[in-house]
Structure 1
């Protein structure tokens, strides 16, 4: 195979098509251990209330309790996993 822009573009399309076909035959497992949380900023802050009072029988006046605010921030990171295709496989046109 002659290495030029047109052939590399065709190769990329063929590999992407093959990858997507294989991807259709898989069942994702990440959702068993994680929750998808969309983020539109570089850091996401999660807040929650702590020290929630226990329920009690209401006798007499209300007894107001203070709640504590807790939070933590997660900085978004980028991940990738690139793969290399041996040049001999491209030269020998083993990808079609």
Structure 2
């Protein structure tokens, strides 16, 4: 993976330059490794699944976390009416676990 693609993925994950991780958050190196090892789906595929629930929306922020006995990919979206949505997906299967308006 080239450096530019890695930085794009880290930016999408909201991990670029933060240096701060919550207890359950997966850091950028580990997230990339999990994806490369095929343990989780690609971030692009997970984003596409979230965006399919809200056509025309844009990705505002993403996060990969270890929870519920597995990996959960959280995507915050803003739809065409300006409404914010939080979509959580199982990072292994791509199944939508949650799709709620974000208050």
> What TM-score, normalized to structure 2?
0.21
Determine which structure has greater relative contact order: mean sequence separation of CA pairs < 8 Å that are 6+ residues apart, divided by chain length. 1
- Under a length normalisation based on structure 1, what TM-score does the superposition of the two structures give? 0.23
Larger relative strand fraction: 2
- Whichever of the two has the greater Rg, that structure is 1
